[in-house]
Structure 1
């Protein structure tokens, strides 16, 4: 039995007897080992909130959010080296599109290209899937967008989503507060919802610090912006007094 498993899990183009590509399953599990990244969008803004990790007290924090184009950015969970490869590909595609057409690359078409690139890894002998999941925010002519891509080549569009370790608690918060943030026109409130979801997922773990949290947003009148540590600190200070309306009703 073990020899059969070894046969199937060393090649991502061979199906197991259970009808699975084990290498794709392993790549998906790598996402769950990464630190959490949260994305949410309203009618006017899309926001990314991510928790960064440090290997030791002597090292800096790993990047979790990358700018792709003026109005496109991505947050990641999983193998950061794979994320950089995908980010470089996205930036190249955006530059080529801007050079040829003189306009921003359509976000959904870019997501499809990434998904096709990821899926190609699952049908080529000697390759392995990218061990990273992405949350991509973009501002389009019809409003902000939030997409998720997976190592299998699947992609989805969301109002709110979280990936990485302990992401289920953040998903529960987003589901419970969907009606509050999806029509929210205030950027500060939307960011605080993202930080509240991060706080729910981080309960009992290390304290949220401005050095260990990344916040980025994009909007109709705002290019992709990654906040400085000072601005992140100001939002973390507001978090203690922030209470969503439905949470206040439950407490009352």
Structure 2
């Protein structure tokens, strides 16, 4: 049995129990520009790579404000991300109008997952080809969720999606146990480090990344590029100083060994 017998319709199961169109949508997320999210007890930080389609074009926005207490970062088809972010805004506005209180993050994530799941059951629809990292703060604390094109959603301490996201995951997996006790600035710094891991050697500047934060007494907003560049510069200065300090003892050892070596006559 060939795969292409079952991958033309989202409602057709393969004999192995797979929906290939849903898997293709999830693959679109893997091809998008990287996005990372980190959560402490009081703040959530989102960071994305600003990847332009060509040297002649500008990048597309990957971070969207949903409400004062919620924001999203996307990876995948940006057009789908804009549609879903507008849907999330409408849900928050309607809830605030009816109940005069902010919409809880978990409830909003479930509504988004239900909307995505409908597209896996209708032959005249296609799954949304975008993954969303939803960052928010409500009465139960700070939250970071990942919404998948399949309709699944998961809550994370830290997560990364998009192209070369595994490098960022590996970096965060080594440090996530300390995230709960992180300050605001430490969380931002680690988000920048995680984004840098996805660039694979390319120099990180504030022009190719976007960082946003939401926290206690701090509504969701995108951090100014000048501040991000200052953080990047300070990190690079510390790394250069550490590298120089590591090289100095090695040079001293080489000098001592050359002095102790006997002279051949």
Given the two structures, how large is their TM-score scaled by the length of structure 2?
0.87
User: Aligned equivalents of 1:242 and 1:180: distance in 2?
Assistant: 21
* Counterpart-to-counterpart distance in 1, 2:108 and 2:185: 28
Q: CA deviation at 1:17?
A: 1.5
Q: Report the counterpart of residue 37 of structure 2 in structure 1.
A: 39
Comparing 105-114 and 52-61, the one that deviates more:
52-61
Match status 1:223 vs 2:219: yes
Question: Do residues 214 (structure 1) and 210 (structure 2) align?
Answer: yes
Q: CA deviation at 1:241?
A: 4.7
Alpha-carbon shift at residue 6 of structure 1 (Å): 3.0
Displacement over 6 Å in runs of 4+: none
CA drift at 1:39: 0.2
Q: Could you tell me whether the CA contact under 8 Å between 1:37 and 1:50 is conserved in 2?
A: yes
What 5-or-longer segments of structure 1 have no aligned partner? 244-252
Q: CA deviation at 1:239?
A: 2.5
| Residue matched to 1:249 | none
Q: For 1:36-185, what aligned pairs fall within 5 Å after superposition?
A: 36-184=34-182
**Structure 1 residue matching 2:181: 3-state secondary structure:** coil
Check the 8 A contact 1:47/1:217 in 2, yes or no.
yes
Q: Which structure 2 segments of 5+ residues have no match?
A: 240-265
Partner residue in 1 for 2:236: 240
8 Å CA contact 1:111–1:147 kept in 2: the answer is: yes
**Which position in structure 2 is the counterpart of 1:14?**
12
Does the CA contact (< 8 Å) of 1:51 and 1:212 recur in 2? yes
CA distance in 2, matches of 1:103, 1:200: 39
Cα pair 1:195 1:239 within 8 Å, conserved? no
Match of 2:188 among 167, 188, 191: 191
Note if contact 1:37-1:163 (Cα within 8 Å) is conserved in structure 2. Answer: yes
Look up the SS of the partner of 1:58 in the other structure: coil
Q: Which has the larger radius of gyration?
A: 2
Alignment of 1:26 onto 2:8 = no
Q: Distance in 1 between matches of 2:161 and 2:238?
A: 23
**TM-score relative to the length of structure 1:** 0.91
Counterpart of 1:240 in 2: which secondary structure? helix
> Cα offset for 1:242?
5.9
Q: Pick the structure with more helix per residue.
A: 2
Q: Structure 1: how far apart are the matches of 2:238 and 2:215?
A: 23
- Whether 1:200 aligns to 2:197 is yes
Task: Identify the residue that residue 252 of structure 2 maps to in structure 1.
Answer: none
For 2:67 and 2:238, the matched residues in 1 are separated by 32
Q: Deviations along 1:49-107, whole A, 9 cap, x unmatched?
A: 11111122221111111000011000010000000110010000011001111111111
Aligned equivalents of 1:24, 1:104: Cα separation in 2? 32
